[in-house]
Chain A
Amino acid sequence: MPLTDLANPSRFLAFVDAVLPWLAAATLLAFALGIGQVYLSPDDYQQGATVKIMFLHVPAAWLGLFAWVLMSVAALGTLVWRHPVADVAAKAAAPIGAAFTLMCLLTGSLWGRPMWGTYWVWDARLTSVLVLFLMYLGVIALWRTIEDPTRAARIVAVLTLVGAINIPIIKFSVDWWNTLHQPASVLRLGGSTIHPTILVPLLIMIAAFTLLFLTLHLAAMRNEILRRRLRTMLLMHADAAAGA
């Protein structure tokens, strides 16, 4: 089946029904493997076991950014090609991205207390991630306030693209402003600076969480398509009653 067939919502639903159980199973397996690896990984000589919050915090941060990038690509699909499934992809991604960003902020805060002595500090990266969370909430609010879903998709798409400027700011904030949060250590030129005994579980957990994101996202897209069908049926019902 060529990729373009997925543009048809019905075929997309069939695709999701076929793929989702496998994706869910793969997610469970990845988490099983990841949690095992995390359990076996060494404690930090200073922080003890609390360092393992990192295995939740880093994937959450990555997915919070990833979701906005996905929304931006979907926004281009909506504005440039008026692709019907792009609307649905963008709308479904927003709450999931917001949830992961919130998880990043909360896990970071819990981790910061023993490590830095404070639940919160206004350094560049924490602030820009907090701003990202606020922007997610703004996008969700805008989705809910505009009644026509197709019109809402186009307007939210413009906002998403304008807000995408925040993504490189978050990524590079720890390099541009030398403040409390540690600098980039995974994705950087010159290779990662983390030891393999921690890097490997981290990468597995990132993969597991990404699979979780995809599973949730596809399921949410399916729900949204069904919701729109329901809306269309209600409109048709109203039309039929008016004509009688």
Chain B
Amino acid sequence: MRLMASELACIRGGRQVFHNLSFTLGAGNALVVTGPNGAGKSSLLRLVAGLVHPAAGQLALEGGNGELTIGEQAHYLGHQDALKTALSVQENLAFWVGFLGAGDAKVDAALAAVGLDGLAALPALYLSAGQRRRLSLARLVAVERPIWLLDEPTSALDVAAQGLLADLMRTHLTGGGLILAATHGPLGLAAAQELKLGATR
């Protein structure tokens, strides 16, 4: 499986965020996107996810499911956690598992994998920022998707949780998955390609 982008351009709010951006990402590999604020890291991830339309260029997935869009074969971990504070930890994850079409059995295992199994019945309102981030990560564990689009995944995570994230990413890559991650700091991934987005001002 390979994700190929050629000469992508992105315009948001009347501004050109980036142009002429190309990269290739093969299975089992990670691409780390770095750059100053406003350089377009988040926009690039949203573009690959299908949430932003490219102003120019092509994006193609080779070896994936031809019937699905790229976004339908990806997980997107954005700045927000997509959690409802009125639902419990268990209910939040069970919803996404049911909605994204994975099996119910995975919910408990995923909560255990991110260390939230003791808090399953707790309303998400009471979770700390780091715990909410881990609950979002549980979604990535519970539902299988080949492509992971991670926007500042380490934000709000303490050192232990960052180690957990690195383990999850390594497992995903070993299984043949792809990771496209935007970050300010190190992710703990050895041998990751880097894509530096400059500020185009």
Contacts and interface: CB of A to CB of B under 8 A. Distances in A.
A touches B in complex, CB < 8 A: yes
Contacts of A150: 14
B13 A243 contact: no
Q: What's the interface size class on A, roughly?
A: 10 to 19
The 6 closest A-B pairs by CB, nearest first: A243-B201, A239-B201, A148-B13, A235-B14, A242-B201, A235-B15
Interface of B: 13-15, 199, 201
Nearest to B12: A148
Dominant secondary structure of chain B at its interface with chain A = loop
A16 B70 CA distance: 43
B14 A240 contact: no
A231 interface: yes
Interface of A: 147-150, 231-232, 235, 239-240, 242-243
Contacts of A235: 13-15
Contacts of B15: 235, 239
A73 to B, nearest CB: 23
A232 B201 contact: no
A148 B14 contact: yes
A230 to B, nearest CB: 11
A17 B13 CA distance: 29
B197 to A, nearest CB: 14
Contacts of B201: 239-240, 242-243
A218 to B, nearest CB: 24
A235 B16 CA distance: 10
Contact of B14 (A232, A242, A243): A232
B57 to A, nearest CB: 16
A231 B199 CA distance: 21
Contacts of B14: 148-150, 231-232, 235
16 contacts: A147-B13, A148-B13, A148-B14, A149-B14, A150-B14, A231-B14, A232-B14, A235-B13, A235-B14, A235-B15, A239-B15, A239-B201, A240-B201, A242-B201, A243-B199, A243-B201
Given A239-B15, A242-B201, 13 more contacts: A147-B13, A148-B14, A149-B14, A150-B14, A231-B14, A232-B14, A235-B13, A235-B14, A235-B15, A239-B201, A240-B201, A243-B199, A243-B201
Nearest to B16: A239
Nearest to B201: A243
Nearest to B13: A148
A179 B15 CA distance: 54
